[in-house]
Structure 1
Amino acid sequence: MAAMLRLLRSAGPPMLFRFSLYGFLKNLRFFDAFLVLALRERGLDFLAIGTLVAIREVTVLVLEVPSGALADALGRKRCMVASMVGYIASGLLLGLSSNVWLLGLAMVAYGFGDAFRSGTHKAMILAWLRQQGRLDERTRIYGYTRSWSQFGSAISALAGGGLLLAGTGYRSMFLASSFVATLNLINLATYPNELDGARPAKGQMIGGTYRQLMATIRSVVRQGSLRTLLISGVAVRSGYKVAKDYLQPVLQALALSVPLALDWEPEQRIGVIVGVVSAALFLLSSYASRQAHRYERHYGDPDRGARALILQHAVAFAVLGAALALGLVWPAIALFIVLAIGQNLWRPVQVGRLGLAGPEDQIATVLSIESQMAAFFAACMAPAVGWLVDLVADGRTPVPLTALAPVALLGLPLLVGLGRMRPPSPGRVTP
């Protein structure tokens, strides 16, 4: 950990270090690369797991826009601290309980954490960039901080695999994640107050929050270009939010089929394979985030770059479905990695586009609306795809690779996003 902190300090100005530290600690959720496998160990089928995912996403759906408006109206630091409290509670419940109702409550706490942090921290970064006169660096800076999030995910996957290898089981991952969330709560609570943004006077907080929310919704409804940005963002994010967890049973199938350490317990072999492959995926994603500004510059126009990424995602989902249907494990893993890299090119480009198109004092709420819309479609798709996987698997455990082919249906929203984005006219460059 000390070596990681020294490396993070090379990020540059103190706040850039703090932003990067937040992302690094946030993604030290040691169970992320193993969540589906941990729930399967407790006897849950894919429909039940999809329902738990839907509970998490519905919680985000309900809280996302109010949380963004609260962040803009009441103070972003408070909302970020509340987010960490949600993650702490979620990790404790997931680690200590097998009761399905308590697991559902854990997902509510998880969704609460996601809702209160998603657009809020990005708004704090954008506020800092404006204060520093560096707003033109928004894609590069956000890509840099996001790369540290992905680096944290890589370390998290390796550490989670190490816990399985040591024989501590899946539960220890959840409890360790709660401890890290506590460290991040301390980091966020000590952010400078000037990143909170303008806040209404006492007694006007509820009214200020409501007015903030209504003003942002009016901006989205009236501004066609902003609506298109939101729809394209939802198309890219929603399917992947559900699809990424299906990499875990693919890696489980690989771990149980390769002649690796045959004297080990299956759980230990799964820990090594899932940990190593997931860590490689997140390291590649970290690199992709850092290169997002170069990707954007390559196309000469953020909209052209965004359209290319949507098309690439759609093709990757289609080919992934074919690979799973044919039982081709290595191509399927490679395509999951391609999708992850695409996501980490997309987010810095998309945040930069929204930062330009959205009103300055409503940016957290605009980002929250995007996350809310993505949560809605993810909540609809997760149980449906889980049910289809169970139907094809017909009770077989571990689930055969061919039964995962319905995951390709999660790419369908991309066709809507692609249809909404007309190719920019030649020579046009977005300011």
Structure 2
Amino acid sequence: MSTTLDAAIAAIRGVLAGAMAHPHLAAFGPDARMEDDLRLDSVLRLQLLLELELQAGLAAPEAAISSTEIETVADLARLLVGEAAPAAPAPSEDDDYVGVHGELDYDIKIHCVVSCLCDALKQAGVDHRPFHLAVPDAAFAVTSAWRLAYHAAAVDHAPLFHWFTRLHGVQVEDWYDRAASKAENIARLDAVLALRSPTTSVMVMLDMFHLPERENKFNQDPFPHYLLLETTADPAFWLVRDVDYRWEGPIARDRLVHAISRPTVAGGYRFDRATARDPNPEDLAAFVRAVVPFGVNPLVEALKLIVEAHLAGRDGVRLEDLESALAELPILIIRKYGYEHGLAWFWRALKLPAREFDRWCDEIEALVAGLKGFHFAALKLARGATPEVVADIRTRLADLDAREHAIKRRLGEVFELWAAATLPGAEVIRFRRAS
């Protein structure tokens, strides 16, 4: 290991132990895993990169900001000292390349409610990919303090349940009584679980922060989250099916009751996949028109408002508050991968060229990376509004807006082609060609 790499690793430890006062350093070393061993979520990683730049002069390359391949301390150190990662193999030019038209062995998990609903579809053998078009612009909130929130009283999942029922014929029943006490709702949950049929999913909201047994990769407190529950042969344990985080296993009932009973969470639903079906074309067309806001990018618009509010000191917020105002942004960024599943469904239906689909997947990946880059730039802005930093932030937001509009234009064009072929004579939306 080179001295330069050693110095970068030492700088990482120094920042974590010093400026960040990070409490989880017992396992620190070159091979320590950033998330599992050091418990550095995406926001803490951005803070680490910023402190490394400001205190140690180790400027973070874009790859370090947006990469999903940084697993260990050594991986990060190599990027900081300019050691290139092994080049990815060039894509095959084989004429027999099938890409999206072959087996799709990946499955994104980007929204806990949608993941629970789609789990039922997958178990019923129904293609769940079109439903993911509801995710990129799924509801979120900007609070009165100009904070971004993925969970708030104003966030309503009713439209998701409406479209799930209309598209797939599965009724979603709200078993949780918000007017009742926590104890009464736990009793209701016991009854719902006792009556659960083999094809019924029982979904409940709990605060993941109070389940240290489970992953909290976003390091949120509170961390409202939906997952699925079943009974086990041992009444002291419930089976947890956390499909959003791809985890299944027993957890003590009293631990789960504690997490469900937190004042930060309230909600629960059940639905029976026995009636699940593929959507009819008319309903699918109505769904796309309803859930995809083709003319606007709500998240980017919200980020513009939040940044300008903090720059102007609106409603008493300070510029340094911008860091906490965007703490939940990583949870919303990953929702943009929903475009990929939606595009894949239409691409397969129309048998469009596989390589073009791959290029649009690259655009979606670039959108996600760009949002992560914006988040890092916003942390810099929170430390001081120099003209250069402000200009950079505004340029990044404009670029993100243009990129997401381009993705939506192509999605709209593909949807229009599908609608014209599938719904002869039906009125379809007209989209400008992407330049």
- Normalising to structure 1: TM-score of the pair? 0.35
Higher helix share: 1
The structure with the larger Rg is 2
Higher strand share: 2
Q: Which has the higher contact order (CA 8 A, sep 6+)?
A: 1
